[in-house]
């Protein structure tokens, strides 16, 4: 039986179309490059966020150190005022002609210095707590983990069993 040429051409066209469909367009490099660029941009943004949090934590620690130094200076001033008052009280007890108004003034200065020292200590403790909170925030992992779904192949392709095991 002899087939007509147009039937052969039609069969050849069908075979070629099946081959073309089976091969498909496997050029996904542009998609992969775009996904990789997006993942890199996300990683860069996360790194910038982590760097900013670290800088904030460092600034908070510097403020805490400064507040601690101010508290130490205020405590030293209170100790000096207390020492001056003790000397004035000893001189007054020894009847060395110390004016009671000067002693009262020293007592007021001592109370003021002690209040300033307590306030500076409280401020230093608050600054230290803030610095610790900033350090904890800087050490926390990123909120949004890097999404590699656009870079990795489809799980369906990975799970496809191309060579089934014999049973």
Domains of the chain: total: 1
User: Look-up: residue for tokens 């210095």?
Assistant: 113
pLDDT band at 121 (very low <50, low <70, confident <90, very high): very high
Residues 6+ apart with CB under 8 A from 71: 117, 120, 121, 123, 124
Least confident range from 19-33, 50-64, 86-100, 142-156: namely 142-156
- In this structure, is the dihedral angle defined by the CA atoms of residues 91, 93, 97 and 99, taken in order, positive or negative? positive
Predicted confidence (pLDDT) at residue 158 exceeds the cutoff of 80: no
Number of H helices, E strands in the chain: 4, 0
Range of the domain at 64: 53-141
Q: What is the pLDDT of residues 93-110, one digit of tens each?
A: 887 777 888 888 888 988
Residue 95 maps to a domain: yes
**Is the whole-model pTM more than 0.85?**
no
Give yes or no for a contact between 53 and 99, defined as CB atoms under 8 angstroms apart.
no
Residue 19 maps to a domain: no
Residue 2 maps to a domain: no
Residue 84 maps to a domain: yes
Q: Percent of the chain having pLDDT more than 90?
A: 7
Residue 127 maps to a domain: yes
CA-based nearest residue to 68, from 112, 111, 115, 131: 131
């Amino acid at each position: 039986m002899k087939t007509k040429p147009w039937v052969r051409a039609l069969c050849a066209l069908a075979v070629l179309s099946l081959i073309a469909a089976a091969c498909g367009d496997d050029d996904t490099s542009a998609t992969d490059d775009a996904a990789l660029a997006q993942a890199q941009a996300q990683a860069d943004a996360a790194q910038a966020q982590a760097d900013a949090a670290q800088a904030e934590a460092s600034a908070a620690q510097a403020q805490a150190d400064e507040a601690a130094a101010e508290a130490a200076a205020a405590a030293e001033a209170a100790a000096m005022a207390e020492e001056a008052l003790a000397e004035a009280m000893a001189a007054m007890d020894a009847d060395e002609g110390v004016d009671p108004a000067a002693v009262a003034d020293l007592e007021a200065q001592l109370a003021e210095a002690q209040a300033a020292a307590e306030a500076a200590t409280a401020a230093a403790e608050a600054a230290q707590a803030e610095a610790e909170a900033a350090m904890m925030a800087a050490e926390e992992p990123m909120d949004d983990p890097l999404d590699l779904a656009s870079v990795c192949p489809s799980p369906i392709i990975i799970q496809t069993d191309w060579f089934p095991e014999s049973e």
